[in-house]
Homo-oligomer: A and B are copies of this chain.
Amino acid sequence: MANPILHIKTQCSECSLRELCLPVGLHKHDLEQLNSVIRQSRRLKKGDYLFHAGETFVSLFAIRTGFFKTTVGTQDGRDQVTGFFMSGELMGMDGIGNNIYINDAIALEDSEVCELPFARMEDLVKRVPSLQTHFMRLMSREIIRDQNVMMMLGNMRAEERLAAFLLNLSQRLQTRGFAANDFILRMSREEIGSYLGLKLETVSRTLSRFNQEGWISVEHKHIQILQARALKDLVAGCSGKSDVI
């Protein structure tokens, strides 16, 4: 439960993620302004909560390293996973609306995040016009992302959802310089199922089927994509987009 907090000097302008994270497209001068916003870097261990649903919204968080899920609790005690986040991605934008975090954010592996106090962000945004536009874009893209998930949940069958999910992970990993076709799942079958609106057994069965077809190789959490084409063909005709998530 306790989040071990370490104060680490962080500078957007020197961060290896600056081409991927919030600074994308900012000029050097504006970028340096961002440095002043970041309060500190924070380390979390697998299973730690970054923030809880219902807490007062204070900060956005950018992931430096690691992997997170966000979940919303249901009245009957079960959780629904609303998203998976990896390095360079921003969490907490749902909190702006009502000054309360809607989601829990939980580390799925040891992770490190940059904390961006929203009050300071707002302040900076006023002084740096390019950042204002940029930040609105990021929020809009979160909307687009969520709408793509809506389409996935509303239109696709289990096979198609899993295919879209794997392709999306693959693409995001590739963007970060990792292998696109050989990776380790950071989440359990149950978490995948929760995200995709399926039961864990269905996820397991469907992965097994992909494995039998020779489209992927599954060994526990180790996934290899052997025939991306086949997966893409499954998804095509459903959402029209391979960047669903």
The answer to whether B143 touches A93 (Cβ under 8 A) is: yes
The answer to whether B144 touches A240 (Cβ under 8 A) is: no
Residue-wise interface mask of A (129-166) relative to B, using a CB-CB cutoff of 8 A (1 in contact, 0 not): 10011011111111110110111011100000000000
Residue-wise interface mask of A (101-120) relative to B, using a CB-CB cutoff of 8 A (1 in contact, 0 not): 01100000000000000000
Q: Does A222 contact B (CB under 8 A)?
A: no
Interface residues on A, range: 35 or more
Q: Report A183 CB to chain B, min CB distance, Å.
A: 24
Q: Does A125 contact B (CB under 8 A)?
A: yes
Residue-wise interface mask of A (2-41) relative to B, using a CB-CB cutoff of 8 A (1 in contact, 0 not): 0000000000000000000000000000000000000000
Instruction: From B96, B97, B142, B149, give the contact of A150 (CB < 8 A).
Output: B149
Q: How far is the CA of A137 from the CA of B99 in the complex (A)?
A: 9
Q: How far is the CA of A147 from the CA of B143 in the complex (A)?
A: 9
The answer to whether A140 touches B140 (Cβ under 8 A) is: no
Q: How far is the CA of A79 from the CA of B80 in the complex (A)?
A: 26
The answer to whether B139 touches A143 (Cβ under 8 A) is: yes
Q: Which residues of B contact A66 (CB under 8 A)?
A: none
Q: Does A88 contact B (CB under 8 A)?
A: no
Q: Which of A72, A133, A147, A194 is packed against the most chain B CB atoms within 10 Å?
A: A147
Interface residues of A in 35-78 (CB under 8 A from B): 72-76, 78
Q: Does A182 contact B (CB under 8 A)?
A: no
- Chain B residue with the shortest CB-CB distance to A135: B136
Q: Does A237 contact B (CB under 8 A)?
A: yes
Known contacts A132-B122, A136-B139: does B97 contact A144 (CB below 8 Å)?
yes
Q: Does A94 contact B (CB under 8 A)?
A: yes
Q: How far is the CA of A221 from the CA of B82 in the complex (A)?
A: 33
A-B contact pairs, 11 of them (CB 8 A): A72-B147, A72-B151, A75-B237, A78-B155, A80-B150, A97-B140, A103-B147, A126-B132, A135-B136, A143-B146, A154-B195
Other than A94-B147, A150-B153, give 12 A-B pairs with Cβ distance below 8 A.
Answer: A72-B151, A76-B238, A78-B155, A80-B155, A97-B137, A98-B141, A102-B144, A103-B147, A122-B133, A125-B132, A136-B136, A139-B139
